Chain A
Amino acid sequence: MGIAETVSDGRRLAIERPDAGAVAAVLLYLVADLTTKLLGTTVYALGFRVMGGSLTVGSLASMAVDGLLVGLAVGLAGIGLSMTYSILDFANFAHGDTVTVGAFLGWVAAYVTANLAVSAPLTDLFLFNGGAQLSASASWALVLFGLVVAALGTVAVVLVVDRLVYRPMRDSGSISLLIASIGVALALRYLIAFVFSTQTSGVATSGARLQLFAGVAITDNEIALLVVSVVLMLGVHLLLQRTKLGKAMRAMADNEDLARVTGIPTERVVRLTWVLGGALAGTSGYLLVLESGTISFNFGWILLLLIFAAVIVGGIGSIYGAMAGGVLIGLVDSLALIWLPSGLTRAAAFAVLIVVLLLRPSGIFGGVSTA
């Protein structure tokens, strides 16, 4: 596409959709500002600093790596949220607490097993007291064991919740289901607080650091997060594209009645949706704790709005959208630090969520429901 064509396209966009045009202008300004900042120059107009400043490639790269890592985990959690949103047709406000459940189940398993030889009483170990912290390189087998427990345990919890709460109300409207999920969220969160108390505990620590380029380092735990989430995303892709289950899920997201008429066992597909979504949520919670090192009873709840942002930015119902949206929101959350003070970066991620919902509710990837 030639430059003239691009410009005329842009002009048409600015006239037909002034709101989208404004967003494009802001984006252009940010890119230009970033470039001048990286070049280390400053542009003045009428005595005011218009753009520029200084920013090293190294600090930009380490911010980008941070954002990418959090974004991958958020995207992983977002897949489950996106699937329940499109197949069961409701915004699941309990998804963040499902993430927490997975993290606690997995880390209790890994931490207690790793520290069985320590003389600390078992009851303390269950509360993450008195044992040594884990790292992906020093005790990879235990970390992997915890990961599997997190996935399986979350699936079990999610299936019980579905049986007790959502299944009796399959025919209810999306708002009723949303309110029920708020009840589930409260119950799950404070059951965790009841068992594990409201303290924040350190469970993981980095065992090794790998120097990349320009002073950017990545820890073994971060590499584990990266590898596991990419592998799982590939797995989900293959599952949905190559198996009958994937096809059935896509059919149900499209039109549930039609799917049932065609002979798709809808109830079984719903259950498998919960299995897949729950496993991914639990895994992502476990990986986020591996990366940050600490665990507390409400970290998933705090993360929930970020996961929603990922799903909505990517387009509700789209698995690939959720992954890409997660990375995008993760990058916004960390790169916003270039322009905003540290207290407001999370607000920038939420602002992106609001802007996307207002201008393009189908998500930035055009709302193509891939699964």
Chain B
Amino acid sequence: MTGFEDVRDRLEELPDAALVVSFLVGIWLLLTALAFSVGGAQSANLAAGFVGSVTVLVGAYAILTLALNLQWGYTGLFNIGIAGFMAVGAYTTAILTAPVDPGAGGVPGFGLPLWVGLLGGMVMAAIVGAIAALPALRLRADYLAIVTVALSEIIRLFVNWGGVAEVQVFGKRFGTGGATGISFESPDEIVATLVNGPGQPLVTAAESVGISGPNVVNMAYGLSLLGIAAGSYWVLSRLVNSPFGRVLKAIREDETVTQSLGKDTRLFKIKAFMIGCALMGLAGALFRGSAGYISPAQFRPVITFYVFAALIIGGSGSNTGSILGAATFSALLFYLPARLGEYVPTFGQSAPGNVFEAVAALGSLDPTPLVAYTVSNVSTLRFVLIGVVLVYIIQNQPAGLLGHRNEPATSVDLTRPHAADGGEADE
């Protein structure tokens, strides 16, 4: 465990902003190094592609993890319906911003500008969150978990249903597109317009070193998501250090005591739940719908558990930890293994079609087919790795990277000092 403690102690010495920035830069450098070791002549462009994609992932997961941290880390609400709230936000945004006249095969919407759609998505996700929270918050934590995951599946099945693919209400035609999904105003496209317009010199500079235009756009999009994550971080940090946040922490520690102090804990819980859900809705629209297209299959419950893994790794109860956890999860556990599997050479031979052929080759003392099979299937195995990491952290480091910072509900330190001398030894 000394390795882990060592890492944590070193993390501890840095101020939060420097910590997060150095962590991100480390990830970028690692991926650049990978790109230059496998990329050949295309290295610069490959590196830009890697860095851009990973930045999008880190930004999106950072927003989601921060939202979950407010609900679970600060208030103790065990929400595993994240995918559902993401779907509500994304679908509301899509329906509000889809073109009124989409042409053949498209689903019509309201044709509003994207910022209105995103705002609408956040509000809708918050409203659905409130509707879910009103009756469910008095339940035990594990019951709340099951209610939220069931709700997220109901939401996914509903938008998937052919009956709401296109409906007409008061002469206005709109819908979810059913299983085929819906196209809407692409957030990526807006960033692309900015990059190719005012940012044109940047693109020219990038192209001169061999980085293609789309990769510059991708990086810009990732940085915008990181910017939104930073904004959420700032708002949430203000929030949890306010009197409102102290009540949330008190609810997490002991709800009965908080009630007896005259706080209407239900109201506080619902508000915290709604704020978290709004952020999840925003992330749903900007992350899953980055290319201006969403479909129900993008909102399966498994994404909820990825966000949970990120929060557990980072340590619930710490906003900085949430961002570090999101970066660790999405870059090192989710993105990097897949790229390794794609680019690491497999001894110059193609991998066998299935694991049994690979194991059969072990009989003739040839381990290379098995290794090749493993490397080529590393994108499957990374989920096993995520599962193992989750179990390891829960068993050995339940506080995650920074969860030990878990702020107390009080503004002054209430831990009883050790009685050095005098006084009773025990009560």
A-side residues, CB < 8 A to B, are: 90-91, 122-123, 126-127, 165, 168-169, 172, 174-176, 178-180, 182-191, 193-195, 197-198, 305, 308-309, 312, 341, 343-344, 346-347, 350-351, 353-354, 357-358, 361
Q: Does B340 contact A (CB under 8 A)?
A: no
Residues of A within 8 A of B143 (CB): 312, 357, 361
Q: Judge whether B141 and A175 touch: CB under 8 Å.
A: yes
The CA of A186 and the CA of B302, in the complex, are separated in Å by 9
Nearest CB of chain A from residue B376's CB, rounded to whole Å: 11
Q: Judge whether A123 and B305 touch: CB under 8 Å.
A: no
Other-chain residue from B136, B161, B356 in contact with A344 (beta carbon distance below 8 A): B161
Residues of A within 8 A of B26 (CB): none
Other-chain residue from A188, A341, A347 in contact with B154 (beta carbon distance below 8 A): A347
The CA of A183 and the CA of B142, in the complex, are separated in Å by 16
Give the residue name and chain of the A residue nearest to B390 (CB): A183
Q: Judge whether B390 and A350 touch: CB under 8 Å.
A: no
Q: Judge whether A190 and B381 touch: CB under 8 Å.
A: yes
Q: Judge whether B384 and A343 touch: CB under 8 Å.
A: no
Q: Judge whether A190 and B157 touch: CB under 8 Å.
A: no
The CA of A188 and the CA of B381, in the complex, are separated in Å by 10
Q: Judge whether A178 and B145 touch: CB under 8 Å.
A: yes
Q: Does B14 contact A (CB under 8 A)?
A: no
- Can you give 9 contacting A-B residue pairs, CB < 8 Å? A91-B146, A175-B142, A180-B390, A182-B309, A182-B390, A350-B150, A353-B147, A353-B150, A358-B147
The CA of A353 and the CA of B152, in the complex, are separated in Å by 13
The CA of A314 and the CA of B78, in the complex, are separated in Å by 23
Residues of A within 8 A of B140 (CB): 361
Q: Judge whether B388 and A176 touch: CB under 8 Å.
A: no
Given contacts A180-B391, A194-B377, A341-B163, contact A187 B384 (CB under 8 A): yes
Which interface residue of A184, A190, A305, A361 has the most chain B CB atoms within 10 A? A190
Residues of B within 8 A of A357 (CB): 136, 139, 143, 146-147
Which residues, 101 to 138 on B, are CB-close (under 8 Å) to A?
A: 135-136
Q: Judge whether A190 and B305 touch: CB under 8 Å.
A: no
Other-chain residue from A179, A189, A194, A309 in contact with B390 (beta carbon distance below 8 A): A179
Residues of A within 8 A of B394 (CB): 169, 172, 176, 179-180, 183
Q: Judge whether A343 and B150 touch: CB under 8 Å.
A: no
Q: Judge whether A91 and B161 touch: CB under 8 Å.
A: no
Residues of B within 8 A of A309 (CB): 150
A-B contact count (CB 8 A): 135
Residues of A within 8 A of B136 (CB): 357-358
Other-chain residue from A180, A185, A194, A354 in contact with B147 (beta carbon distance below 8 A): A354
Nearest CB of chain A from residue B101's CB, rounded to whole Å: 27
Residues of B within 8 A of A174 (CB): 141-142
The CA of A184 and the CA of B384, in the complex, are separated in Å by 8
Nearest CB of chain A from residue B85's CB, rounded to whole Å: 15
Nearest CB of chain A from residue B238's CB, rounded to whole Å: 28
Q: Judge whether A126 and B153 touch: CB under 8 Å.
A: no
Q: Judge whether A190 and B390 touch: CB under 8 Å.
A: no
Given contacts A193-B380, A341-B163, A358-B147, contact A183 B387 (CB under 8 A): yes
Given contacts A180-B391, A183-B394, A351-B154, contact A308 B146 (CB under 8 A): yes
Give the residue name and chain of the A residue nearest to B76 (CB): A175
Residues of A within 8 A of B387 (CB): 182-188, 190
Q: Judge whether B142 and A178 touch: CB under 8 Å.
A: yes
Nearest CB of chain B from residue A97's CB, rounded to whole Å: 10
Q: Judge whether A179 and B308 touch: CB under 8 Å.
A: yes
Q: Does B291 contact A (CB under 8 A)?
A: no
Q: Judge whether B145 and A346 touch: CB under 8 Å.
A: no
The CA of A172 and the CA of B397, in the complex, are separated in Å by 13
The CA of A344 and the CA of B394, in the complex, are separated in Å by 36
Nearest CB of chain B from residue A311's CB, rounded to whole Å: 10
Closest 7 CB pairs of A and B: A183-B390, A187-B387, A186-B387, A190-B383, A123-B356, A183-B391, A343-B161
Q: Judge whether B154 and A186 touch: CB under 8 Å.
A: no
Q: Does B33 contact A (CB under 8 A)?
A: no
Q: Judge whether B380 and A190 touch: CB under 8 Å.
A: yes
Q: Judge whether B163 and A343 touch: CB under 8 Å.
A: yes
Q: Judge whether A186 and B146 touch: CB under 8 Å.
A: no
